[in-house]
């Protein structure tokens, strides 16, 4: 009995899995897309961090001190001072033409004021449209100015009789050391790509299931000719047999990302394979059941793909990898509760990039299993309903067909 159930399930699983490599649409989505996107997406971030951002200095002062500030700015790793301007308008024009992404303005009479014992203010102007470049320009010029300022301040304190060490302690009595625990170099690729990979897996899997009709009975695909028996198995066999095919197929992707993609692009790789396996079962379980449910709403194979491609960007941002979920409006958070990616993105980053244990990510796993059960119930209920409707239509067609046949026969006999 158990053996026969297992064999029937296995047959459906193999039929479905072979479809991934026979059906042209399935090959593209379930085989090619997962590989292609994982190599294509990290490409912009190959250099990981932005260095030597072109920047300028507007020097109205033209003194030793202003030159010292410029020299200090030139030594900063984040920027490259490409131009010294006579006035701010020239710098602004170059900023508009994207020749520089920010500039430092040194006011006239700065050195004279400081020599008098007063303080000076430097203006740092960064382009508001570029998030990362703004940070580079602001940090580099502020650090350069702070370093020159610290030297001046320690000299002033020295004049009051304090030693250099005391001067430094007075200037900064509570120094702060900033340490990054994960993604040590602050690489942009290691920050973005893991989240994108989870979205790629989720979306391709959802689109794939929609393209192949989910748990539908008797699908009319060219590649399924002669597979009538497995196509017309009872719902539970069809549903779980096909789900297993998707599950195992996508487990290969997780291993591929862990072993090849992370190695190829040199992302931090701390994941434990067992933890990854438990996580993947929960994640794919939720996505497959969600796919099995939504696939039943699309009557044409391409519709699912068209809609799901367009929602990938919102899904990515709703997962909170870039913007904390706590800072999102409640209605967006509520939609997020129903998406596997909301838990999969932080879960995967915690496992693979931060080396989390199963205990540390238990809440993500529980949520994903919860979603699995929720979508399983929805998927099965809808599939059962659709099966019943299809059965009813078949019965009606048979009845209508037999009536028609009888009428034709009667007429023929007359």
Partner 1 sequence: MLSALIHVFKGTYLKRNAPLWILIFVLPLGGSILMTSLLSRELPRNLPMGVVVEETSQLTGRIIKSIDASPTLRVETYCEDVPTCGSLMRSGDIFGFIMLPAGLEKKAYRMESPVISVYTNAQSLLTSNLIIKELRTVVGTQGVILEPRNLPDPLRTEIHVVGNPTGSYLYFLAIGLVAAVFHVVAMISSVFVFSYPIREKKVTVWLREAKESPVIAVLGRWLPLVLILWVEMLLMMVFVRGELAPMGNWEFVMLALASLAMIGTCTAVSIVFVGVTGSMRIATSAAAVVGGPAFAFSGQTFPVLAMPFFVRCFAYVLPITHFLQIQSAMLLGNIGLTSAFHSLQILLGMMIFWLLLGILTMSWQLKKCGEKEDD
Site for partner 1 in 118-177 (CB under 8 A): 119-135, 138, 141-142, 145-146, 148-149, 152-153, 156-157, 165-166, 168-177
Q: Do residues 381 and 309 touch, judged by C-beta distance below 8 A?
A: no
Our finding on whether 256 is near partner 1 (CB under 8 A) is no
In whole angstroms, the minimum distance from the beta carbon of 311 to partner 1 comes to 7
C-alpha to C-alpha distance for 187 and 190, rounded to whole angstroms: 5
237 Cβ partners below 8 Å, 6+ apart? 8, 9, 12
Q: Interface residues for partner 1 in 85-104 (CB under 8 A)?
A: 89, 92-93, 95-98, 101
Backbone angles phi, psi at 106, to 5 degrees: -100, 120
Kind plus residue range of the DSSP H or E element containing 71: helix 64-74
Q: Which stretch binds partner 1 (CB under 8 A): 218-226, 254-262, 343-351, 385-393?
A: 343-351
Tell me phi and psi for residue 53, to 5 degrees. -70, 130
CB of 361 to partner 1, least distance (A): 7
Which of 307, 374, 378, 384 is close enough to bind partner 1 by CB under 8 A?
A: 307
Give the per-residue contact string, 269-288, with partner 1 (x = CB under 8 A; - = no): --------------------
Total residues contacting partner 1 (rule CB under 8 A)? 121
| Residue number, 132 or 388, with CB nearest to partner 1 | 132
Residues between 28 and 57 with contacts to partner 1, criterion CB under 8 A:
28-29, 33, 36-37, 40-41, 43-47, 49-51, 53-54
Per CB under 8 A, the segment of 13-21, 116-124, 223-231, 288-296 that binds partner 1 is 116-124
Q: How far is the CB of 344 from partner 1 (least distance, A)?
A: 12
CB closer to partner 1, 1 vs 330: 330
Q: Which of 8, 14, 22, 25 binds partner 1 (CB under 8 A)?
A: 25
- C-alpha distance across the termini of the chain, in Å: 54
CA distances from 191 to 33, 141, 258, 374, 395 (A): 21, 25, 15, 31, 56
* 289, 243 contact by CB (below 8 A): yes
How many Cβ atoms from other residues are within 10 Å of residue 353's Cβ? 21
> For residues 200 and 41, is the Cβ–Cβ distance under 8 A?
yes
- Over the window 372 to 391, marking each residue x when it contacts partner 1 by CB under 8 A and - when it does not, the resulting string is --------------------
Site for partner 1 in 206-245 (CB under 8 A): none
Nearer to partner 1, 103 or 237 (CB): 103
Query: Residue 344 in contact with residue 364, Cβ under 8 Å?
Result: yes
Spacing of C-alpha 106 from chain mean position: 41
Nearest approach in angstroms of CB 263 to partner 1 is 18
> Rounded to an integer, what distance in angstroms lies between the CA atom of residue 123 and that of residue 57?
10
Interface with partner 1 by CB under 8 A: which range of 190-198, 225-233, 376-384, 397-405? 190-198
35/409 Cα distance (integer angstroms): 59
User: Is residue 107 part of the contact set for partner 1 (CB under 8 A)?
Assistant: no
Hey, is 207 helix, strand or coil? helix
Phi/psi for 349 (5° steps) reads -60, -40
CB of 233 to partner 1, least distance (A): 27
- Distance between CA atoms of 389 and 400, rounded to whole angstroms? 16
Strand partners, 85: 58
CA distance 140 to 132: 12
The least CB distance from residue 244 to partner 1, in Å, is 26
70 is a contact residue toward partner 1 (CB under 8 A): no
**Residue 390 beta carbon to partner 1: minimum distance, rounded to whole angstroms:** 21
Q: Considering the complex, what minimum distance in angstroms separates the CB of residue 375 from partner 1?
A: 21
CA-based Rg of the chain, rounded to a whole angstrom?
A: 32
Question: Which member of 251, 328, 369, 374 binds partner 1 (CB under 8 A)?
Answer: 328
Site stretch for partner 1 (CB under 8 A), options 213-221, 228-236, 246-254, 352-360? 352-360
Q: Which of 11, 354, 378, 386 binds partner 1 (CB under 8 A)?
A: 354
């Amino acid at each position: 009995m158990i053996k026969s159930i297992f064999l029937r399930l296995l047959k459906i699983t193999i039929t479905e899995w072979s479809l991934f490599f026979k059906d042209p649409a399935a090959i593209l989505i379930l085989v090619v897309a997962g590989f292609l996107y994982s190599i294509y997406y990290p490409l912009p971030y190959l250099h990981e961090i932005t260095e030597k951002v072109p920047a300028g200095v507007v020097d109205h002062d033209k003194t030793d001190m202003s030159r010292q500030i410029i020299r200090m700015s030139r030594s900063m790793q984040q920027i490259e001072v490409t131009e010294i301007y006579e006035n701010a308008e020239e710098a602004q024009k170059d900023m508009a033409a994207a020749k520089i992404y920010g500039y430092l303005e040194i006011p006239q009479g700065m050195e004279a004021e400081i020599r008098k014992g007063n303080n000076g203010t430097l203006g740092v102007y960064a382009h508001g449209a570029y998030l990362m470049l703004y940070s580079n320009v602001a940090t580099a010029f502020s650090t350069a100015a702070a370093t020159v300022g610290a030297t001046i301040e320690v000299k002033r304190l020295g004049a009051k009789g304090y030693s250099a060490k005391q001067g430094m302690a007075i200037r900064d009595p509570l120094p702060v050391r900033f340490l990054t625990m994960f993604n040590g170099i602050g690489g942009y690729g290691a920050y973005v790509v893991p989240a994108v990979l989870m979205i790629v897996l989720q979306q391709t899997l959802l689109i794939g299931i929609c393209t192949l009709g989910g748990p539908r009975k008797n699908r009319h695909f060219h590649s399924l000719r002669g597979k009538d028996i497995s196509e017309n198995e009872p719902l539970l066999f069809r549903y779980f047999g096909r789900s297993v095919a998707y599950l195992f197929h996508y487990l290969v992707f997780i291993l591929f990302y862990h072993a090849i993609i992370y190695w190829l692009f040199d992302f931090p790789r701390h994941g434990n394979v067992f933890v990854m396996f438990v996580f993947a079962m929960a994640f794919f379980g939720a996505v497959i059941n969600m796919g099995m449910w939504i696939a039943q709403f699309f009557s044409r194979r391409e519709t699912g793909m068209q809609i799901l491609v367009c929602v990938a960007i919102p899904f990515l941002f709703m997962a909170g990898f870039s913007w904390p979920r706590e800072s999102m409006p409640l209605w967006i958070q509520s939609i997020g509760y129903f998406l596997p990616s909301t838990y999969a993105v932080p879960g995967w980053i915690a496992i693979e990039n931060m080396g989390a244990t199963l205990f540390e990510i238990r809440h993500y796993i529980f949520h994903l299993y919860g979603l699995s059960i929720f979508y399983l119930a929805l998927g099965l209920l809808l599939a059962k309903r659709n099966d019943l409707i299809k059965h009813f239509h078949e019965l009606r067609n048979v009845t209508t067909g037999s009536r028609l046949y009888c009428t034709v026969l009667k007429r023929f006999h007359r």
